[in-house]
Amino acid sequence: MEPSDDPTLAPAAKPKRSGRSKPAARRVIAIGGGKGGIGKSLVSANLGIALARRGASVVLLDADLGGANLHTCLGVPQPPRSLSDFVAKRVDRLEDVLAPTGIERLQLASGAMDELDAANPKHSQKNKLLRHLKALDVDYVLLDLGAGTSFNVLDFFLAADTGLVVLLPEPTSIENAYRFIKAAFFRRLQLHAPDEGFEQLIAQALAPRDGAGMATPWEAAEHLRQTSPEAAAQFEQILAGFHPLLVVNQARTRADYDVGSTVAAAWKKFFGLDLGYLGAIAHDDAVWQAVRARRPLLELSPDGPAAQALLRVAENLIAWER
C-alpha cells in the first residue's frame, strides 16, 4: 500500500475542547498504550525529532521505568543523570539532567527514579515532578511511557496536556488500547473526584438500568443531573477534558489504516467519549533496521513509509494542538 492511499492524511476530526487553560507554548504530550513492543518509543523518538526539525525545542523523557531504551532509538548513550538526581537534590535544576541527543533542539532525560518507590511513587512526588517538567523552558515535553496500567503510568498519561495511545491493528492490541483508555478514564475520575461520595454517585449513575447495558458517561451525567446537578456538572467537566488521540502502528493492509477511525467510532458508540485519530504508521523493515543500527528512523530512512507517516502524525498532532 502506498502512503498516498492513507485515508488519515487529513487531520482527525477535532473533538470539542473544554475551556482548560494551557501554558502559552509549552505542551506535555504522553505516549502510552498499555503494552510493550507496540511502538511507543518509535513514536516518541521520531515525533520528538519531527517537532525539533520544525523549530520547536523538545525534551524527551524516557518514563518507561522498567525498560528504558529511548536512548537506543535515538542512537545515544543512556543519559548520565536521571530524575533521581533531581529528586534526591544531587542537582539543583531539572535542566541539569537533560542530555543532548546530537539533534538540534532535542534533549533527552532519563525518568529513572530510584529514590522514589519506582513502581509507584507517591502522588505528591509525581505531581511535583510533573510541575517541574511543565515549567521547563521548552516548547514540548514528550513522555515515553512504560507498559501496563499502573497508577504510575496512568498518572503521567493524565497529567499530560495530550495523551497519545499507540495500538496495532490486531484485535488483541485493540482490546488492550480499550483497557488502557478505560483505566485512564476511571483514574481521571478518581483523581478529580471532589469527595468520596462523588465516585459512588458516578458508579450508581453508570450502572445498567431497566435491562439496558451500562450507561455511557454522558447518559450517566444526564441521569445525575436530575438528582445532583452540581455533581453532574463536575462529572461533565471531567469527561470533557478527556481526549486521548490514537496512533495505529505497523499498518500493513488498507483496512489497517481504517482501524483508528473504527476504534474511535466504536468508542463513541459504546462509551460516548471522543477519541481523536492522528494516523497510521506503516509496518516498515526500516524501523527494526534503524533500531539495530542505533540510528533514529527519521535519519536512517527519511523517505520510507514509516518515516513519512510519522511526519504526518506530527503534523496532525500540531494541527490538533492548535
Ligand X SMILES: Nc1ncnc2c1ncn2[C@@H]1O[C@H](COP(=O)(O)OP(=O)(O)O)[C@@H](O)[C@H]1O
- With H, G, I as helix, E, B as strand and everything else as coil, classify residue 106: strand
Distances (CA, A) of 31 to 83, 142, 179, 220: 18, 7, 15, 29
C-beta of 136 vs 287, nearer to ligand X = 287
- Cβ neighbours, 10 Å, residue 268: 14
Length of the chain, in residues: 322
Q: Is 176 helix (H, G, I), strand (E, B) or coil?
A: helix
* Partner from ligand X, Mg ion, none binding residue 106, C-beta < 5-8 Å depending on class: none
Our CA dihedral for 64, 67, 72, 78, rounded to 10 degrees, sits at: 80
Which of 43/231 has CB closer to ligand X?
A: 43
User: Within 163-202, which residues bind ligand X (CB under 6 A)?
Assistant: none
Q: Are 246 and 275 in contact, with CB atoms under 8 Å apart?
A: yes
Provide the residue type at 224 as one letter: L
Are the C-beta atoms of residues 41 and 144 closer than 8 Å to each other?
yes
Element (H, E) at 126: helix 123-135
Query: If we measure between CA atoms, which residue out of 311, 183, 297 comes closest to residue 247?
Result: 311
What does 42 interact with, of ligand X, Mg ion, none (CB < 5 to 8 A by kind)?
A: ligand X
The CA distance from 50 to 308, in Å, is: 10
The type of residue at 13 is A
Q: Which is nearer to ligand X, 15 or 79 (CB)?
A: 79
Minimum Å distance from CB 322 to ligand X? 27
Pick out residues in 64-123 that bind ligand X (CB under 6 A): none
Residue 158 CB, nearest distance to ligand X (Å)?
Answer: 19
245-304 binders of ligand X (CB under 6 A)? 249-250, 281, 283-284, 287-288, 291
CB of 28 to ligand X, least distance (A): 18
β-partners of residue 157 are none
Sheet harboring 245-251: ordered strands across?
99-100, 106-110, 58-63, 140-145, 27-32, 162-167, 245-251, 276-282
Q: Does 42 bind ligand X (CB under 6 A)?
A: yes
For residue 243, the partner it binds in ligand X, Mg ion, none, with Cβ less than 5 to 8 A by kind, is none
Nearer to Mg ion, 40 or 188 (CB): 40
For residue 44, the minimal CB distance to ligand X (Å) is 7
Pick what 102 binds: Mg ion, ligand X, none; C-beta below 5 to 8 Å, kind-dependent. Answer: none
Residue 48 CB, shortest distance to Mg ion, in Å, is 13
Which residues in 189-248 contact Mg ion (CB under 5 A)?
Answer: none
# residues contacting ligand X (CB under 6 A): 16
Question: Which residues within the stretch 1-40 sit at the binding site for ligand X (CB under 6 A)?
Answer: 36-40
Residue 99 and residue 143 in contact, taking contact as beta carbons nearer than 8 Å: no
Closest CB to ligand X among residues 142, 281:
281
What's the closest the beta carbon of residue 40 comes to Mg ion, in angstroms? 5
Report in angstroms how near the CB of residue 294 gets to Mg ion at its nearest: 15
What is the footprint of Mg ion within residues 6-65 (CB under 5 A)? Answer: 40-41, 64
> Does 311 participate in binding ligand X (rule CB under 6 A)?
no
Nearest to 32 by CA among 136, 183, 137, 172: 183
Tell which positions 303-322 bind Mg ion, by CB under 5 A. none
d(CA 199, CA 192): 9
Choose among 101, 78, 75, 108: nearest CA to 294. 75
Work out how close the CB of 195 gets to ligand X at its nearest, in angstroms, rounded to a whole number. Answer: 37
Contact 34, 147 (CB under 8 A): yes
Note the residues at the interface with Mg ion (CB under 5 A): 40-41, 64
**Residue ranges that bind ligand X, judged by CB under 6 A:** 36-42, 249-250, 281, 283-284, 287-288, 291, 306
